[in-house]
Chains A and B, each alone.
Chain A
């Protein structure tokens, strides 16, 4: 009896001990939350090195873009502990900072000698700082991204098309440098027969549900002279959001949608754009730079068949591009903040950042992107660099969500549904945004 009792006790202790060891190991596992897209797969690969170095396991929670904001903002708002680290969208930074979702990283950066001067300035402002342009950091720039364009180099280089284009428009068919040129190229290709297939001019952002049409329209409006507010008086929008130049920009976007997009492209965003380009439907394709590595590798449209160009200039020569991308933050509700900070420290390392770029992520570290070998490292590297130098971003206020919803509605109503005029849409937008800021007590 005694021996069987001892055996039972021994077994119980062994099981308890082994479970405790296993739990201790799992207790150190970190969960990183991000969108489900190509760079996320690259990050999984990259993070294996972190586990090798530190013994800390990495788990990942990736959500498709269409649900990304809903899912993770809900998680943060409910103070959930699912994510220890989060790569949150640039526009979330204000709300996440003010509502205490992210850990402030200034002390950590000082202690670990991580300097924000080592990162591309636009990404520091866009992904890390709140309030903007103040040294208050809530994230480490993780994934640089910007809206740019790809085009079918093989179609552009067809002699018969080049000849016809030159005769019609008086300049050589090539990547457009102004929006007027872009529209001419798009018109030229619209409904043209190429290799026995009907093709179309351009794929642009028109999605209604999340942020698509705002990202696309803003990408054009900036270069036409749109400004969010009076630079001298914050939140004064009348005459800036709805200036004559902004109206012309929005009219241009609608004209581009009406004349030169594939049939049925009324709800198109990143995925639909990639599909349209990959399936050989369009001559040009507006999309975030993160899509470029995948397109470059594509058997049908990649390699020598694809080219890249920076967002064109507006009528006055101004040239801007819509910022994308994200910073990586430590979630303040996580019980594993120390381990999460270890990950941030590891991720900021130059060698890790260089590998990040080689795997398909877009590093924001100056040491990587200013390396003399960088522009030649990938066919799209120079376009990425040039684009990152001209970025502008949407509001990053805590109320970014209602601000975005208002622009989604106003732009879609005008551009896709053809309701009212561009002036009506932008006047309405000023009204909506004013209401949001009034509700916030900022006006």
Chain B
């Protein structure tokens, strides 16, 4: 049937066109098929990247299109690297990335390990645990803002119930010491299931016979965990850390919704600073330079990490 259709199409194709098509090599045909994707990629990814690199050396401001654009050389980069506030934002980002990854990895792996026991109802619990990850960050940010509300929020009442501190004194989003933790808690709540899923895939990929051999050798559960489970699941854990690390380095939505970078600049992560410079202060050239610095930092760190990951996999 297919052959007959192909023959019909071939017969119906005008001779000049058919000659042209016959003239295209396999490689040419492959290029023909992937060229729309490549063009799209160039237009929406590569061109903006090179354009941003160009802008980063200028004083261009998007809100003043009529002004003469001056070449500033490396001045924007020098100013960013010498700006105390930028370094504070980078420290805040590092603090946030470190704690979220640590908590998500610990809790995510523990949950995966428990779910992997395949107890009664484990499928139901898996689905339930995955729910936060399926929600929109805008929804999560807004409802956690209400939960954290000191006068009506359930979170404050729950903590107050346990600690006996009045709920109005538990100001998660207004208190300088608590505000960073309020974001870490929400991010951990939302993204731990993601880490759990990856870890679960890792745990399920370990062949059962290895454990059976360990049993024969009378290895304790603890020994099995340290010598089999953890090393064999490690590449998956590292992959989860990589994904979450890259995502959290760029974290914007949750911080913006919960604290807007405040109180003061306590939770102002790099992406919030970048947004303020680019779209509120309209320093397009300056913010392009900052974006390039962030890109290089993430790209560099991710590369080093991927090399380490490959080494672990080869072991």
Asked if B149 and A402 sit within 8 Å, CB to CB, the answer is no
Contacts of B265 in A (CB 8 A): 409, 412-413, 417, 419
Q: Please count how many residues in chain A sit with their CB below 8 Å of the partner chain's CB atoms.
A: 33
Whole-angstrom CA separation of A402 from B280 in the bound complex: 7
B73 to chain A, nearest CB (A): 16
Cα distance A123–B137 in the bound complex, in angstroms: 42
* One of A37-45, A259-267, A302-310 at the interface: A259-267
The 8 closest A-B pairs by CB, nearest first: A417-B264, A266-B174, A413-B264, A402-B281, A263-B168, A208-B262, A263-B150, A264-B150
Judged by a CB distance under 8 angstroms, whether B313 is at the interface is no
Interchain residue pairs with CB less than 8 A apart (30): A70-B280, A74-B279, A77-B63, A95-B63, A99-B63, A99-B65, A198-B168, A208-B262, A208-B264, A209-B260, A263-B168, A263-B169, A265-B174, A266-B173, A266-B174, A267-B173, A267-B262, A401-B281, A401-B282, A402-B280, A402-B281, A405-B276, A409-B264, A409-B265, A416-B174, A416-B263, A417-B263, A417-B264, A417-B266, A419-B264
Q: Note all chain A residues with C-beta closer than 8 A to B148.
A: 264
Residues on B with C-beta less than 8 A from A404 are 280
- Among the listed A209, A262, A416, which residue makes an inter-chain contact with B151, where contact means beta carbons less than 8 Å apart? A262
Q: Does A73 interact with chain B (Cβ within 8 Å)?
A: yes
> Closest A-chain residue to B149, C-beta based?
A264
Is there contact, CB below 8 Å, between A263 and B176? no
A398 within 8 A of B: yes
Q: In the complex, how many angstroms separate the beta carbon of B171 from the nearest chain A beta carbon? A: 5
Chain B residue nearest to A198 (CB atoms) is: B168
Q: How many inter-chain contacts with C-beta < 8 Å in the A-B complex?
A: 92
Cβ < 8 Å to B, chain A residues 303-362: none
Minimum Cβ distance to chain B for residue A189 (Å): 15
Question: Could you say which of A99, A267, A418 contacts B260, with CB atoms under 8 Å apart?
Answer: A267
Chain A residues within 8 Å of B85, by CB: 409
Question: In the complex, what distance in Å separates the CA atom of A74 from the CA atom of B62?
Answer: 9
Cβ distance B51 to chain A, nearest Cβ, rounded Å: 16
Residue of B nearest to A436 (CB): B281
Q: From residue 279 to 309 of chain A, which have CB atoms closer than 8 A to chain B?
A: 281
A interface footprint on B44-73 (CB within 8 Å = 1, 0 otherwise) = 000000000000000100111110000000
Interface majority SS on B: helix, strand, loop or mixed? loop
What B residues does A198 contact at CB under 8 A? 168
Across-interface contacts of A419 in B (CB, < 8 A): 176, 264-265
What distance in Å separates the Cβ of A258 from its nearest Cβ neighbour in chain B?
A: 11
Given contacts A100-B66, A264-B151, contact A402 B262 (CB under 8 A): no
Q: Quick one: CB contact mask for B70-99 with A, threshold 8 Å, 1 for yes?
A: 000000000000000100000000000000
CB of B176 within 8 A of CB of A418, answer yes
Closest B residue, CB atoms, query A79:
B65
User: Using Cβ atoms and an 8 Å threshold, which residues of chain B touch A70?
Assistant: 279-280
Given contacts A398-B64, A409-B85, 8 further A-B contacts (CB under 8 A): A74-B279, A79-B65, A262-B151, A264-B173, A267-B173, A412-B262, A414-B264, A417-B262
Given contacts A263-B171, A264-B171, contact A402 B63 (CB under 8 A): no
Chain B, Cβ-Cβ closest to A73: B63
Closest to A403 in B: B281
Q: How long is the Cα–Cα vector from A402 to B276 in the complex, in angstroms?
A: 9
Taking Cβ atoms with an 8 Å cutoff, the residues of A that contact B are 69-70, 73-74, 77, 79, 95, 99-100, 198, 208-209, 262-267, 281, 398, 401-402, 404-405, 409, 412-414, 416-419, 439
Evaluate contact between A77 and B281: CB separation under 8 angstroms. no
A-chain residues with CB within 8 Å of residue B259 when the two chains form the complex = 267
**B176/A417 in contact, CB under 8 A:** yes
Contacts of A412 in B (CB 8 A): 262-265
User: Which one of B59, B66, B171, B281 lies within 8 Å of A266 (CB-CB)?
Assistant: B171
How many Å from the CB of B261 to the closest CB on chain A? 6
Please report the C-alpha to C-alpha distance between residue A413 and residue B88 in the assembled complex, in whole angstroms.
13
- Give the shortest distance, in Å, between A69 (CB) and chain B (any CB): 8
Neighbour of A99 across the interface among B64, B266, B276, B280, CB < 8 A = B64
Interface string of B256-285 (1 = CB under 8 A from A): 000111111110000000001001111100
- Contacts known (A263-B169, A264-B174); A77 close to B65, Cβ less than 8 A: yes
Closest to A100 in B: B66
Let me know if B260 and A401 touch, CB within 8 A: no
Query: Shortest Cβ distance from B235 into chain A, in angstroms?
Result: 41
Q: Kindly identify, within residues 112 to 150 of chain B, every residue whose CB is under 8 Å from any CB belonging to chain A.
A: 148-150
Give the distance in Å from the alpha carbon of A419 to the alpha carbon of B280 in the complex. Answer: 23
Is the Cβ of B283 less than 8 Å from the Cβ of A402? Answer: yes
A208 and B261 form a contact (CB under 8 A):
yes
Query: In the complex, which residues of chain A have a beta carbon less than 8 angstroms from the beta carbon of B266?
Result: 417
Query: Shortest CB–CB separation between residue A306 and chain B, in angstroms?
Result: 22
Q: How far is the CA of A69 from the CA of B276 in the complex (A)?
A: 13
Chain B nearest CB from A375 CB (Å) reads: 38
* Contact of A401 with B262 in the complex, beta carbons under 8 Å: no
Chain A residues near B262 (CB, 8 Å)? 208, 266-267, 412, 416-417
Residues of A within 8 A of B168 (CB): 198, 263-264
Distance (whole angstroms) from the CB of A111 to the closest CB of chain B: 27
Closest Cβ–Cβ distance, residue A174 to chain B (whole Å): 28
Question: Which of chain B's residues have a CB closer than 8 A to the CB of A100?
Answer: 66
Q: A208 — which chain B residues lie within 8 A by C-beta?
A: 260-264
Tell which of B171, B262, B265, B276 has the most Cβ of chain A within 10 Å.
Answer: B262
- Cβ contacts under 8 Å, A95 to chain B: 63-64
The answer to whether B174 touches A401 (Cβ under 8 A) is: no
By the criterion CB–CB under 8 Å, are B151 and A263 in contact?
A: yes
Residues of A within 8 A of B281 (CB): 401-402, 405
